[in-house]
Structure 1
Amino acid sequence: MTEQDRKGAAFIREIARTEAPYGTLAIWYLGQESVIIKGDGITIYVDPYLSGDLDTGDWRRVFPAPIAPEEIQGVNLCLITHEHDDHMDARTLPWLHRSSPEAMIVAPACCKSALLEMGIPASGLITADDRQPLELFSKLRLTPIAAAHEQLERDADGCPRYVGYVLELNGVTLYHAGDTLVYPELIARVSALKPDIALLPINGRDYFRQQRGIVGNMDYREAAHFAREIGADTVIPLHYDLFAVNAEKPGHFVEYMYEQFPEQKGHVMARGERFVYVSPRAFLQP
């Protein structure tokens, strides 16, 4: 067993052994926008990109994933925000399904054909429709939120091409934005759900990246203002460090937020870190 194998096995054991008390959620950072969320016995993978499938030229990973796809275990739910390869990974999702065949995958409707080609059965797929919140496991409320990456796009049935998700679980409301710009309806929709914690992209966009076909997101300044506008208790930046060609310095986000909103709580996650968010309701009985 290699050192990386040992680290991967220890990482999976840590997830399995973590029990988040009421009013808390445990979050693990895998890179890009890939995170694992656990609360009330439910383990959720969001955009698991673990394979290094893009590992060529400009798209070489800056750091390896904490686990390999074949090490995945114990998944109850997988959320996909959109079809880009670093979010819907064709070399990770078949392993996830193989190890956790009962885990449902929630994804935009446009992802369905690709997921079927990966061997995911139609019975294991749920469409992410921002007009229809989902009640899952009798203790998770999941609300898809339309995202603008860089445009708001919908199919003929009105289903969004890009989404984020609001999870209400274990006494905590978490918003994972996926890839998106800020638009007025996004602020109104998310703030109405009163998120405790927001996971937001900060890599931004510019003319030169657009010319290379790199689709952008909110930048670190916009992310800081957006977190303030939606009333998030704590904000975690994402999507800034996995590919040098599409990176941002998280220190810029921290500095800007401190200068503009010094009372806003935030946390920059280390690679592979477990962060336990504690809400104001953590010490109250459910």
Structure 2
Amino acid sequence: MVRKIVIPLIFLTTGCTAPMDYSSSPNFNVEKGQFEHPEGDKSDKSIFDLFGMATKFLRRENDEWEDKGFPVISSSKAALVDFSENMIWVGQSTILLNHNNLTVLTDPHFGERASPFSFLGPKRLTPPPFTVSDLPKIDIVLVSHNHYDHLDKETIVELSKLQPNIKYFVPLGLESTLKKWGAQNVVELDWWQSFEYGNVEIQATPVQHWSKRSFFDRNNTLWAGWMMKWDEFSFYFAGDSGYSNDFKETANKLGSPTLAAIPIGAYEPREFMKGAHMDPAEAVKVFSDLDAKYAVGIHWGTFKLTLEPMNEPPRLLKENLERGDHSLQRFRALRHGEIWNAPFAD
């Protein structure tokens, strides 16, 4: 039996578009013809590394959560109509958030697979707590990068049809892709560039990651974290990242967020994943580096992408928070579909 493997994320075969000219960006390496983190590409693996990882993945033992997924707290369309001063973790890196009458959706993924194929690749093991059609009016969508577990064509197409007035914020290179999928209002930003949306400043920030959707487009588009700043509240979305000094720099330049969404999963084996994905111990360091008031752990328990047991990230997060004498009420790994209003009520 063909296993639900990460290979479609590693050996991608779908078509790609010709890259735009981003040579004026300080984050674009003209000689290589691709975007690059200031500390270099720490996720570039040899073909032997890739096959080694795929072999380990194929030979793994399923844990119970991979077989049955996690419990989900569902919300109805009617319940979401008045969604206000709250956040819901939908799954993976998708968060529904509302503050000051502005509703935000991050890395929207409601699809069945994190893959270019409908029949193969990492299958969603924990269903979303509601459908795209159940969503309340969305004002802003933040997209961190183009990997299949973060940018889902099916979701964007449906969302754009149902809510054509959404404004999408994407890193350099992704505007044309989203417009091709039906998004009408797309703002493309480089690291540290910002956009004023009403009384909210939205700014792209550097993180240590990479991009790819096919054989031939590695790092043709940028990846980013996002900071949203109201007068009295701020939200930081890390997207996907290995641990780096970027988080201290972000806090130093933009201030510490009220609420941060920090990835805690998809980190084993460390020698393979460390450059692109932080583990729970590093997530706690990011929490400290940002000096965030609250944080939510994302990027776990939804797709089986790596080798750690699916229920391990929240357990290790708790252990590392306790070891660092942090409040367990300040940095939480929510249940799928759980509503959390503490960051908005404090």
Q: TM-score range by the shorter chain?
A: 0.7 to 0.9
1:135 to 196, 212, 220: 196
Go from structure 1 to structure 2 and tell me whether the alpha carbon gap of 1:170 and 1:268 turns closer, same or farther (over 3 Å shift). Answer: farther
Unpaired runs of at least 5, structure 1: 1-6, 21-25, 152-158
Paired position in structure 2 for 1:203: 265
Paired position in structure 2 for 1:249: 313
Counterpart amino acid of residue 147 in structure 2: H
User: In 2, Cα distance between the equivalents of 1:243 and 1:179?
Assistant: 14
Go from structure 1 to structure 2 and tell me whether the alpha carbon gap of 1:89 and 1:204 turns closer, same or farther (over 3 Å shift). Answer: closer
Higher strand share: 1
1:226 to 276, 286, 290: 286
Paired position in structure 1 for 2:139: 76
Unpaired runs of at least 5, structure 2: 1-72, 212-219
2:235 partner SS: strand
Q: Does 1:32 align with 2:95?
A: no
Paired position in structure 2 for 1:270: 335
User: In 2, Cα distance between the equivalents of 1:99 and 1:139?
Assistant: 26
Aligned runs of 1:133-212 on 2, under 5 Å?
133-136=194-197, 138-149=198-209, 161-169=222-230, 171-192=232-253, 193-203=255-265, 205-207=267-269, 210=272
1:244 partner SS: coil
| TM-score where L is the length of structure 1 | 0.80
Offset at residue 111 of structure 1 (A): 1.5
User: In 2, Cα distance between the equivalents of 1:205 and 1:268?
Assistant: 16
Contact 1:221–1:256 under 8 Å retained in 2: yes
Offset at residue 181 of structure 1 (A): 1.4
Which is worse superposed, 217-226 or 141-150? 141-150
Which is worse superposed, 50-59 or 269-278? 50-59
Offset at residue 57 of structure 1 (A): 5.4
Count of residue pairs the alignment pairs up: 258
1:175-202, CA deviations, whole angstroms, 9 ceiling, x for partnerless residues?
Answer: 1100011222331223442112211011
- Larger of the two Rg values belongs to structure: 2
Go from structure 1 to structure 2 and tell me whether the alpha carbon gap of 1:74 and 1:11 turns closer, same or farther (over 3 Å shift). Answer: same
1:219-253, CA deviations, whole angstroms, 9 ceiling, x for partnerless residues?
Answer: 11011012112211122111111123334431111
| TM-score where L is the length of structure 2 | 0.67
Contact 1:164–1:175 under 8 Å retained in 2: yes
Go from structure 1 to structure 2 and tell me whether the alpha carbon gap of 1:53 and 1:113 turns closer, same or farther (over 3 Å shift). Answer: farther
User: In 1, Cα distance between the equivalents of 2:272 and 2:94?
Assistant: 23
User: In 1, Cα distance between the equivalents of 2:192 and 2:289?
Assistant: 22
CA-based RMSD of the aligned residues comes to: 2.8
Counterpart amino acid of residue 81 in structure 2: A
Q: Equivalent pairs: percent with the same residue?
A: 18
